[in-house]
Structure formats: C-alpha cells, structure tokens
Structure 1
Amino acid sequence: MKHIILYLIFFSAYQSVSAQTKQDSLAIKQAALDYIESQHQPNPVQMERALHPRMVKRTFWNDKATGKDYVRETSTESMVLLAESYNKKGDKFPAVPKKEVKFLDISEKTASLKLIADEWIDYMHLVKLNGAWKIINVLWQYNDIKQH
C-alpha cells in the first residue's frame, strides 16, 4: 500500500510539471531561451517574439540614499530596446553563458518556470494565446542580492 501511495504522489507531481504536449514544453522553453539569448547576441526581434505585449518585469531595488527597498518595473517595449543595445560590445556575458530552464508548473494555457542565467534568477509566467506561448510576467533578482 505504501508503494502505491508513493507512486500516486510521484505521478501527481509529474503531471503538474508536464505540459499538455511535448510541443508545448518545447515552445515554453524556447520562449525563455529567446528572452535570454536575445540579450546574449543582441536581437530585438527574438525578444519581441518571446514576450506578450503587456508583459511586466519586476524586481526589488534598494535606494542607496534612503536605504529603503522598492519595486522597479520594466515593460515589453523596454526589454525589446534592451535586447537591441545591452550587449552590443559583446562584453556583458561569459563566452558560454549559463541558461538553465526549470519547469515549475504547466497547465493547458499557463506555465511557470525558473530561468537561471549567469548573474540572474528569473521567475516567469507564460500564457498560451492563439496557439503561441508568451512570457507575461517576470520577477527577477541577482544571485547576489547586494547588487540590487
């Protein structure tokens, strides 16, 4: 009986992180990779492909003058501009950048994942609209929070 319960727990956990189809899993991962790779090799079109037009990216920041934390927000438009200019000189990332995608949860139309990329951790929510997976929310932080 104990083995059956463990199997059911494992199967339930597996179900919660598996997409409706293998194609969904691939498309979700590709959106996350487009997001980070468009910054490695400046490519605003690739960034735009990954993001929903109303995406909001947030992080916490510390105001050095007051010592208070606050939330900063970035839009799709800003991220597309960032992808065009951030690594123009090719000096912002290591020769072989880290880009690890961890699926946290996937449903028919929504997904949650964690992207670990060099200095950053990005938690992402994606939505499937009209057959395409798009990043709609990002909450990120530096690995070393003192950088905030």
Structure 2
Amino acid sequence: MKKLSILIVLFLTVSFTYAQSDSDKKGVEKACMNYIEGFYEGDEAKLKESLQPTLNKFGFWKDKKTGEYKQQDYMAYEKALAYARNVLEKKQFAKPEAPKEVQVFDVGHVIASAKVRAWWGIDYILLSKRGDKWMIEQVIWEGPLEKPTH
C-alpha cells in the first residue's frame, strides 16, 4: 500500500507540473503572438495585453549601403502603442504571408524566454509572469529577414 501511495503522489506531482508547464508555455506563446499581431494589425489592445509598461525594446537594422548593422532607437511601451496606432491609421498592415513564428525556449516559475520571427526580422524576448498572465519585459531584435515579406 505504501508503494502505491508513493506512486500516486509521484504521478500527481508529474501531472501537475506538466499541466502547469503546458499552460505556461501557451501563455508565453499567446503573449508573443499578441506582440506580433499587435504590430501587424495596429492593434493596441493586443499590445497592452502582453507588454509591460516598463518595456525595454531595442534592435539593429542592416544599412543597405554599407551592409553594417546599426543600433536603432529604443522603443518604450508608449512608443510601441504609437507605432500600432500609426499602422492602423495609415492602414500599413503586414502582408498576409508575413511570418508569425514563436519559439519558446524556456519557461520557469515566473520568467520565460522566446524567439519571434516577423516581417522585420527576429526578436529575442524575455517575459515575466504577472498573476496568471505572461508579459513581455524586454526585447532585442535584428532585421531585416533575408527575404522581407512586408
């Protein structure tokens, strides 16, 4: 009976851990997809759903003339929302075939990391769990993709 009890406790522990991890992974994926779609669709609500107000985002863009990568301006939370508003106002939406890929690297109890592939390039994203929701804290990006689709 003691062995059966130990097996049941072990099974429940593993099952709970897997369920929590699967749920957390889906939460990270959702936050990252909101991020892409927020910029693609000019949807501020999706960005607000997944960006921390203390967002720290910066990246590098390849200069067409020199071929060198140059650091771009820092994008804080308000600037990200303004970018989305601009996309919506000017109807400069991403093309339907533009990439929307999310790869989750690691999910801890309250932190996670992921990679996003979008029309502008690749982003490495750090997230934190706030309550039951995953939020994007930091982003570093590089663009463009070899074959731009925007």
Instruction: Provide the aligned length of Structure 1 versus Structure 2.
Output: 127
SS of aligned partner of 2:30: helix
- On the 8 A contact 2:58/2:73 being kept in 1, the answer is yes
Check if 1:36 corresponds to 2:32: no
1:118 maps to: 119
Q: TM-score, normalised by structure 1?
A: 0.73
Question: Residue 68 and residue 52 in structure 1: after superposition, are their counterparts in 2 closer, same or farther (change >3 A)?
Answer: closer
2:130 maps to: 129
Q: Distance in 2 between matches of 1:143 and 1:70?
A: 13
Q: Rg bigger for which structure?
A: 2
Question: Residue 132 and residue 68 in structure 1: after superposition, are their counterparts in 2 closer, same or farther (change >3 A)?
Answer: closer
Check if 1:24 corresponds to 2:24: yes
- On the 8 A contact 1:42/1:87 being kept in 2, the answer is yes
Q: Distance in 2 between matches of 1:22 and 1:82?
A: 32
- Cα displacement (A) at 1:119: 3.1
- On the 8 A contact 1:126/1:134 being kept in 2, the answer is yes
Question: Residue 28 and residue 38 in structure 1: after superposition, are their counterparts in 2 closer, same or farther (change >3 A)?
Answer: same
- Cα displacement (A) at 1:85: 1.6
User: Equivalent residues in 2 for 1:1-148 (5 A)?
Assistant: 20-60=20-60, 69-70=70-71, 72-144=73-145
Q: Distance in 1 between matches of 2:128 and 2:90?
A: 33
- On the 8 A contact 1:20/1:108 being kept in 2, the answer is no
Q: TM-score, normalised by structure 2?
A: 0.72
Q: Structure 2, unaligned stretches of length 5 or more?
A: 1-17
- Cα displacement (A) at 1:92: 4.2
Q: Structure 1, unaligned stretches of length 5 or more?
A: 1-17
Aligned-pair identity in percent equals 27
SS of aligned partner of 2:73: strand
Q: Distance in 2 between matches of 1:137 and 1:72?
A: 14
Q: Distance in 2 between matches of 1:76 and 1:136?
A: 10
CA RMSD in angstroms, aligned pairs only = 2.7
